[in-house]
């Protein structure tokens, strides 16, 4: 999305996959403005944020098994309605000086990773971190 005005993608379900010709969504800076996805996201590809993005859709069960790269911009997830959730089994990277802000609903961190030098900010929600560490120390 590249615009000098606010841009919104609005649909019931947005399935984004590598199998569909590359599978990349990029929020471009353009001349500024807000970037909003009013969708239930099922990301199997790559979402790159170069401009802040808000993801919101009432009663959505969002999933990420691909990559969300918020190294260069903030990512806001606003969850409302009946049993809204975001399940991550992929990779979410939050860049230094940037935020992934989640307000409402549930975050299920079942596998994959949330990393980077940025900040994960959780508000008025439930979080489940079931990811196991890939690094193990061995004693001899």
Position 12 confidence tier, pLDDT thresholds 50, 70, 90? very low
Q: Where are the domains of the chain?
A: 7-129
Taking only the tens place, the pLDDT of each residue in 22-56 is 588 888 887 777 889 898 999 888 999 999 999 99
Q: Is the pLDDT of residue 104 over 50?
A: yes
φ, ψ (nearest 5 deg) of residue 9:
-100, 120
Mean pLDDT across the stretch 88-101? 97
- In order, the DSSP letters of 9-62 are EE-S-EEE-GGGTS-EEEE--TT---EEEES-EEESSEEEESS-EEEE-TT-EE
- d(Cα 47, Cα 51) in Å, to the nearest integer? 12
**Residues 121/94, Cβ–Cβ less than 8 Å:** no
- DSSP 8-state code for residue 137: -
pTM confidence score: 0.82
Taking only the tens place, the pLDDT of each residue in 63-77 is 999 999 999 999 999
């Amino acid at each position: 999305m590249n615009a000098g005005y606010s841009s919104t993608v609005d649909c019931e379900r947005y399935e984004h996959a590598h199998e569909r010709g590359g599978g990349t969504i990029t929020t471009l800076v353009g001349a500024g403005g807000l970037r909003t996805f009013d969708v239930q996201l099922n990301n199997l590809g790559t979402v790159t944020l170069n401009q802040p993005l808000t993801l919101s859709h009432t009663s959505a069960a969002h999933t990420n098994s691909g990559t969300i790269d918020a190294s260069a911009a903030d990512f806001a997830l606003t969850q409302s309605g009946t049993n809204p959730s975001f399940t991550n089994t992929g990779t979410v990277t939050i860049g230094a000086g940037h935020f992934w802000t989640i307000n409402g609903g549930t975050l299920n961190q079942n596998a994959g990773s949330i990393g980077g030098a940025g900040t994960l900010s959780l508000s008025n929600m439930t979080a489940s971190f079931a990811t196991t560490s890939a690094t193990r120390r061995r004693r001899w």
